[in-house]
Structure formats: C-alpha cells, structure tokens
Chains A and B, each alone.
Chain A
Amino acid sequence: MGPVDVHSPAAEHAAELARARKDIVRIATAGSVDDGKSTLIGRLLYDSKAIFEDQYEAVARASKGDHVDLALLTDGLRAEREQGITIDVAYRYFTTPRRTFVLADTPGHVQYTRNMVTGASTADLAIVLVDARRGMVEQSRRHAFLASLLRVPHLVVAVNKMDLVDWSEEVFDRIADEFDAFAAKLSVPDLTVVPISALHGDNVVRHSPNTPWYEGPTLLHHLEHVHVASDRNLTDARFPVQYVIRPQTDGHHDYRGYAGTVASGVFRVGDDVQVLPSGLTTRIAGIDGPRGPVEEAFAPMSVTLRLDDDLDVSRGDLIGKPENAPTATQDLDALVCWMAEEPLRPRQRIAVKHTTRSVRAVVKELAYRLDVNTLHRDREAPELGLNDIGRVRLRATQPLFVDDYTRNRVTGRFILVDEATNATVGAGMLTPAG
C-alpha cells in the first residue's frame, strides 16, 4: 500500500462515515446447482470493488481455463473446490456509497436446504437465481417458497445466462410470468425480476446494451434502493429479558437492571410496563444503552431496563405493555422446517428455544406435510423427514409469550433442539391456531 494523502479532509470524511446512518441490508442468495450463483456473487463483489488485489490474484492462480473464475471467491472450502459446489452458507460483505450489504451465500443442493433456511432467516431480501435456458425448476420454487415462509420482505428473481438464450425478451417474459403466477400463491410482498449474465456482468452493476427491451433497474441499483426501513415492527413493545445485571458493588449497591434486545416496538422512560409471566405492572425508571442512559429504546437496540419496583424478574421473562401483550400459551401451532436425518414424529419430546426462554415440549400432532412444489397439503403424512416442511402442534411444559410470525418475526419464531444430540433440528414459525 502506497502512502496516500490522509490529512484533514480524509480524516473528516472518516469521522463522517463513522456517524453515518447507512442501512445494513441483509441478502440471501439461492438457486439451483450450476445456476451461476457463486459467479454472480463474485461479479457483484468484483464490480463493486469489494475484492482486494491479493484475493483476486489468489483466485486467478486457482482458476482453470482461460478466464478468471469468480466463483472461486466464494467457494472457499476444500470439498467445495473438489466438487465445484457450495456446501455451506458463506457470509460476504460489500459496501456502496449508499449501503452496506451482508450477503449470505446459500447452497442450492437439495440436501443443504437447511442452510438455505439458515441464510434466509435473517434476510431483508432474497435473490433466487434461475437459469434462463431451464426456466423455473423445483429448486427455484422451493427457494421462493422458503423466502416467503420466512417472511423475507423482498424477493428478486435474477434470470441468469441470458447470453445463452440470445438475450431473448420472450424467454425472459415467460419466466417472469411463471414466477408471478407462483408468487401469487405465496405471500411475497415485493417481487422484482431482472435479466442478467453473471459471467459477463450484464445488468448486474451496469445496464446491458444487450437488453434494450429491459427498462428496469440493474440488480445492484435495486439492492441499493429497495425500501427496508419500514420492515421492522415498531408497534408492539416486546422485551425478552436476557440477563439480569446486579453489580452488588459499593458504587452500585442497589442497581438491578434487566438486559436484553428490544424485539419490537419502542420503550420510553416512564412507560407503564407489564412483566410476564407474573403479570405484575410497574414503570420504566431508566434505560441504559451502550453509552449510558437514554430516553427511549427501539428494536433492535441492546439495552438494560431499570424498573420502579423491585419485582422478581429473570431470564426468559418478557417485559411488555399492559394494553398490548403477546399471547401467553403452552400450545404452539407452527410451520416447522425439519433439518435432521431422524424424522419428526408425533409424541416425540423436544427442546424449544423461543426468544430467551428454553422449554421442553412434546409433539402433539402433525397436521400436514407441505409439498413445496405444488403447495399441496398431505394430511396423511406420518412424519417430517429431512428438509420437509409441515404444520405441527407442540405442547410446551411452560407458557411462551408469542405473536404470529407474520406480525412479529422475533416473538413468532423458535428453534427445536434434540435433547440427546444437542443438534438444532428444526425451525418454527408460529401461525394462528385452527
């Protein structure tokens, strides 16, 4: 690195960057094997100048054939290079003047669907890649469905390898229409379809002269402008207690604070609050943020609440508002994505982790198994196998404080853990009973 001019203006710029309220946008990519996903990510990173010279040189050295294989930027594990596939989620970062992106590169192979769910669980936006020559295949449907199931608010279909179908507008329109029809059956609030060539970079960062008929945004332009700020729930105040802070030192003899992350909504000093499960009410005496006391806290801030009264509050309890409480229930109706070889069966015992509360539960009923291609509900299914999704009723040993996943992504979700192996075996999204 050569010396650069770093004095005043640049230093001011640095300070400005540190204060900037840039959004962090989390993206999950999905697509079938060989749809060119790794190449697309390599292209996004390369064209947005997120690739460093030494990384690029390493990839150039490792590339076989006459062009630099950008897919090697993401397929980093030995087994992935041997087999030419992506095995596990990789997280990549890139920044543009407008936004910072966290990109979860998730595998397309069917046996790794649980990793697609892993990558999509935190995403604001999902990109499903489709090979223009093959159109929608089982995996594209599965991934679009998973994105909708996980309530990823924005879906982008990137129709790739347009160069191999002579940049045909007709092919593109057919795939877009097919996707529209499928998406209508799901809950996809926002769908965008872009024709691209990841290998050559068309419509990824720059508009392509090869698609004069396409008037929409490039992929990157869309990623930079899609409206994500409104996707949070700022209405329902929910604060799962994570950790009780009691210093018991001379300086802070009486300090008792409830630390946690605001799941949703807004809490202000002086607000009347209710603690679940006790149902006791009190007021917020103070809120301590990472830099000292603040007047209010909103999702997803990590703060410590101090209360007016000395109540018995511990990890797993939930602080909310008396007039707007979550549902306290031991009966959990949920769509479950099963992630283990050993199937999920009725009467099975299992551990549930929901916000900061861990309880044991028993599987009361498997209502149906869902065919993710046809969305058909098989009510006769005896079990859920690896990568199956189905509607399940669980009975927990203690109440959980829940909302429907459609209303609140934080209080509406849980994981299932096998108590014998300690493996994470399922992901659940709560739905209204019935």
Chain B
Amino acid sequence: MTTPDYRLSQLETLEAESIHVIREVAAELERPVLLFSGGKDSIVMLELARKAFAPARIPFPVLHVDTGLNFPDVLEFRDKRAAELGVELIVASVPDAMARGVVREEPNGSRNRIQTPVLLDAVEEHGFTALFGGARRDEDKARAKERVFSFRDEFGQWDPKNQRPELWDLYNGRIHLGESIRVFPLSNWTELDIWQYVLREDIAIPPLYLAEEREVVERQGMLYAVNEFVRPRDGERSFRATVRYRTVGDANLTAAVRSEATTVADVIAEIAVTRMTERGATRGDDKVSDAAMEDRKKEGYF
C-alpha cells in the first residue's frame, strides 16, 4: 500500500481558502450580498458560494449594479444563472438613478465612477453589511494592497493607510451600524487560475469569452465590437475580425482581443503565453491615471 501524500492541487488549495472565507462571512455578518455581474470572476464566486453551502441554498442574495451599458448576452446569462441556483437577484440601475437625478452622465462616457453612489444607495436601502466581490489582487496594484476582509466606513470608503491587520485566516468582521466589509474570497487567484477552474469544474460562461467572428472598429489601438453602444464614428470603418473578450465591463468601453480560442482550454493556452494584463489589453478606463483604481476605491468603488 502506498502512503497517501495528502496534498491538494493549486486549484483545490485556492478553492478551500475561498470557501472558508465565504462561510466565515455567512456565519459572522448579519446581511451579506454577493456582487454578481455575469462576468467570469463573479461566476466563479457564485459557484464557490454554491459549494460552500451545498446541499442547502446560498444563504444570501446577489446584487448587480447595472450601468445600462452591459452586453445583452451577459445580462441574459446573469438572470439564467441566478434562477438556476434559486438565489434572489437584486438589480440596482444606473439609468434609473440618472433619471431620478441622483447621478449625472460623465463627459467621457464612462459610468465607472457613477456606479459607486448607485451601489452605496443599494447597500443602504437593503442594509447589507458585507459585500462579496470577485476582485483579485493580480488585477491592479491598488488591489494588491487590499485585505481579504476590507473594512469600509459609513460612506463605503477605503483607507489604504488604515487597514485592519489581517492575521492568518482569522478575519475580523466586527462593524458598527452603517459600516460594512468588502470581502474578496478570490484575492489570491490569478486570471489563469480562474480559467483553469472554469475548465476543471466545467462552469458555464457567456459566449463573449470565446472567439467568434465579430464586426469591430479600431479605436486607439483597441478593437471594439460594433453593437448598440458602439457605432463607427466619422473616419472609422468597421470590419470583421475573430475576437473574444478577456473581461466584460461596459460594452462601450471594453475592448476585445484577436483570438482563435473557441474553447476554454484554448483560452487558457492563449493566456499562458500572453504578455499583456487583461485590463491593459481591454480597458480604456484604467488608463486615465496611474492611480485611477486607487482613487475610485477610496470613493467606495470595488
């Protein structure tokens, strides 16, 4: 008989760690909610939440801040997945907030910043005390600094200079009324880990993540698919190209990349050799300044 080696694979280790975090929040915080956009990270989050409580249902609702500029495919996927799991889906709408005069459209067309007040309003309305996010530390240098349990004050603000020390896996979820904790169970995952997990667990994803011939325009060196939010401007000409998405943010600002990857395994093979980060390759909005993400997070953004 051989001696068992009692080792977990890299993905099993990350999975165990994330499930531990999710259960800890459900046990200690009054009213958690999981931010679910239908993007790959939040899809993995939801799958981990399902596993954490199976065979019982996920004991908290999911929330989506809909900017009104989302890819229709992704919204469809969002609704379907929430229904399959029997979780309550709450949608906070940016266009509604604009109609009520709560927020105003920014001149650059990005709804990144105006999502924040809409999110904070929803948190207040429903009394959420903990918000699960799918953010990973490998995404951005400001995120690399964030704790797994990230304390936010009553304005939802992050203070990078005054974070709670986070020791071992002993998370401190104590808060006063009005304060909240942002929780990042995927902190230690990388983009490659996410894709490998999607493959390993055979998790469904929106078709946008896989390569297909799509009508695109080229803008500042990036390819944007033509859709109801992106029309060729003067001097631009659309053409057909085989592309996929590495991230799915707002349809007007998220670029696609040229790719031949038509399966998840193909996507992994491509990512393993790419020399660009997913945001660098696809997001116009992070290039505003070197500390764009840090500044948004201080205001209450994820």
Contact = CB atoms under 8 A, between A and B. Distances in A.
B161 A353 contact: no
A417 interface: yes
A36 to B, nearest CB: 19
A74 B141 contact: yes
A413 interface: yes
B56 A245 contact: yes
A4 B19 CA distance: 35
Contacts of B56: 245-247, 249, 252, 255
Contacts of A189: none
Interface stretch (B3-11, B102-110, B126-134, B230-238): B3-11
Interface residues of A, number: 87
Interface in A196-227: none
Contacts of A62: 290
Interface stretch (A164-172, A175-183, A298-306, A360-368): A298-306
Interface stretch (B37-45, B75-83, B93-101, B265-273): B265-273
Given A87-B160, A88-B161, A259 B269 contact: no
A52 B14 CA distance: 23
Contact of B270 (A1, A260, A415): A1
Contacts of A90: 137, 141, 144-145
Interface stretch (A115-123, A132-140, A273-281, A374-382): A115-123
B27 A87 contact: no
Interface in B163-206: 163-170, 172, 174-176, 187-188, 190, 192, 196-197, 199-200
B258 interface: yes
B57 A247 contact: yes
A409 to B, nearest CB: 8
Contacts of B261: 6
Given A243-B26, A413-B167, A422-B176, A14 B52 contact: no
Contact of A422 (B175, B192, B197, B260): B175
B172 A353 contact: yes
A42 to B, nearest CB: 12
A118 B261 CA distance: 40
Contacts of B145: 76-77, 88-90
Contacts of B54: 245, 288
Contacts of A243: 23, 26-27, 53
A301 B8 CA distance: 8
B16 A301 contact: yes
Interface in A285-320: 288, 290, 296, 298, 300-302, 315
A314 to B, nearest CB: 10
Contacts of A64: none
Contacts of B140: 76
A15 interface: yes
A6 to B, nearest CB: 4
Interface stretch (B117-125, B212-220, B276-284): B276-284
Nearest to A18: B196
B53 A245 contact: yes
Contacts of A15: 199, 265
B154 interface: no
Nearest to B275: A53
B266 to A, nearest CB: 4
A92 B145 CA distance: 9
Contacts of A52: 274-277, 280
A242 B23 contact: yes
Nearest to B269: A10
A121 B52 CA distance: 25
A19 B10 CA distance: 8
A1 B166 contact: no
Contacts of A23: 7, 10
Given A242-B24, A302-B15, A255 B55 contact: yes
Contacts of A78: 291, 294
B165 A424 contact: yes
A229 B7 contact: yes
Given A242-B23, A288-B54, A117 B165 contact: yes
A300 B294 contact: no
A413 B176 CA distance: 25
B258 A423 contact: no
A114 B165 CA distance: 7
A22 B294 contact: no
Interface string A85-112: 0011111110100001010000000000
Given A115-B165, A298-B6, A3 B258 contact: yes
A68 interface: no
Given A13-B269, A87-B161, A88-B145, A24 B294 contact: no
B165 A14 contact: no
Nearest to A22: B10
Contact of A91 (B27, B55, B170, B187): B187
Given A1-B275, A6-B260, A11-B263, 5 more contacts: A19-B200, A76-B141, A100-B10, A261-B16, A351-B174
